[in-house]
Structure 1
Amino acid sequence: MNWDQNDPYKEFRRQQAVIRQAFKNPVREWKRQQQALENVLNISMRKMMKQQREFKSLMESPFRDLQEQHLQLLRNMKPIADYLNQQQDIIQRSFGTLPKLLKKASKDFEQYKKLMIKLNFPPHHDMDYKDFKGIYEFYIANGEEEVEEKIYQLILNNYFDSKIKSYYENWKTIGWLDKRIAILDESITNYLEGRYHSAISTLLPQIEGIIIERGNVTGYVSQKEMKRLGEEVLKDTGSFSLDDAVKLFYIDCVLDSFKHGQIIKSPLSRHAILHGADTKYGYKMNALRCILFFDYLILKLNGVNRNLDS
Structure 2
Amino acid sequence: MFILSIKHLKKKAMNICEDDELFFEKFLLSDDYFRENDDIEAVTFYIERKYSSKSFLNLIFYLMDNSGAFTNRKDLLRELRQLYKKRYYYGALTLGITQLEHMVVSFNKFEGRLHQKELIRLIKKTYPEEDSFYMNLHLEYVMCKFEHGKEIKSKISRHGIAHGGVDDHGNAINAYRCLILLGHLSTIISNKM
**TM-score range, shorter-chain basis?**
0.7 to 0.9
Is residue 2:134 matched to residue 1:249? Answer: no
What is aligned with 1:168? 61
- CA deviation after TM superposition for structure 1 residue 192, in Å: 1.0
Name the residue aligned to 1:273.
161
- Residue 172 of structure 1 and its aligned partner are, at CA, apart by 3.0
Cα distance in structure 2, aligned partners of 1:166 and 1:279: 29
Q: Distance in 2 between matches of 1:108 and 1:166?
A: 23
Equivalent of 1:289 in 177, 180, 185:
177
Identity over aligned residues, as a percent?
25
- Partner Cα separation in structure 1 for residue 112 and residue 171 of structure 2: 34
Residues 103-159 of structure 1: per-residue CA shift (max 9 Å, x gap): xxx9644xx4477422468xxxxxxxxxxxxxxxxxxxxx87366665555444332
Q: Report what 2:51 is aligned to.
A: 159
TM-score (norm 1): 0.50
Q: What one-letter code is carried by the residue in structure 1 that aligns with 2:127?
A: L
Aligned residues: 175
Please list, as runs of the form range in 1=range in 2, the aligned pairs for 1:83-122 lying within 5 A after superposition: 108-109=19-20, 112=23, 113=26, 116-119=29-32
Work out whether 1:205 is the aligned partner of 2:98. yes
Does the C-alpha gap of structure 1 residues 276 and 151 become closer, same or farther in structure 2, counting only changes over 3 Å?
closer
In structure 1, what residue type is equivalent to 2:70?
L
8 A Cα contact 1:120 1:253, kept in partner:
no
Equivalents in 2 of 1:184, 1:119: separation in Å? 31
Structure 1 residues 30-69: aligned runs within 5 Å: none
Q: Equivalent residue of 1:251, what SS?
A: helix
Match of 1:223 in 2: 116
Alpha-carbon distance in structure 2 between the residues aligned to 1:213 and 1:280: 29
State whether residues 254 and 266 of structure 1, in contact with CA within 8 Å, keep that contact through their aligned partners in structure 2: yes
CA distance in 1, matches of 2:184, 2:37: 28
Contact 1:184-1:203 at 8 Å conserved across structures: no
Look up the match of 2:3: none
**Which segments of 5 or more consecutive residues in structure 1 lack a partner in the other structure?**
1-105, 122-142, 238-242, 306-310
Change in CA separation of 1:210 and 1:144 when aligned onto 2, cut-off 3 Å = closer
Measure the CA separation in 1 of the matches of 2:180 and 2:18: 23
**Structure 2: stretches of 5+ with no match in the other structure:** 1-16
TM-score by length of 2: 0.77
Shift of the 279–195 alpha-carbon distance from structure 1 to 2, 3 Å rule, reads: same
The 8 Å contact of residues 117 and 245 in structure 1, kept in 2 or not, is answered as no
Q: Is the 8 A contact 2:69 2:106 kept in 1?
A: no
Corresponding residue of 2:75: 182
Aligned to 1:80: none
Equivalent residue, structure 2, for 1:10: none
- How far does residue 216 in structure 1 lie from its aligned partner after superposition? 1.9
What is the match of residue 234 of structure 1? 127
CA distance in structure 2 between the aligned counterparts of 1:282 and 1:146, rounded to whole angstroms: 19
Q: Secondary structure at the match of 1:177?
A: coil
The one-letter code of the counterpart of 2:37 is: E
Q: Structure 1 CA distance, aligned partners of 2:90 and 2:180?
A: 16
* C-alpha distance in structure 1 between counterparts of 2:27 and 2:88, whole Å: 30
